[in-house]
Amino acid sequence: MSTQDFKEINEELTSALKDGSDAMTPTAAVSHIVPIVAPMIKSLSHDALVKWKKERKIYNEEAYERIVTTVKENMDRDQLEDECNLL
pLDDT of residue 8: 74
Domain residue extents for the chain: 1-35, 37-87
Q: How far is CA 1 from CA 6, 9, 12, 68, in A?
A: 7, 11, 16, 23
Please answer whether residues 64 and 30 qualify as being in contact, where contact means their C-beta atoms are separated by less than 8 angstroms. no
Banded pLDDT at 79 (limits 50, 70, 90): confident
* pLDDT, tens digit (0-9, with 9 covering 90-100), for 11-45: 776 776 666 555 555 555 555 666 778 899 999 99
Please answer whether residues 63 and 36 qualify as being in contact, where contact means their C-beta atoms are separated by less than 8 angstroms. yes
Rounded Cα distance between 24 and 30, Å, is: 12
pLDDT of residue 51: 96
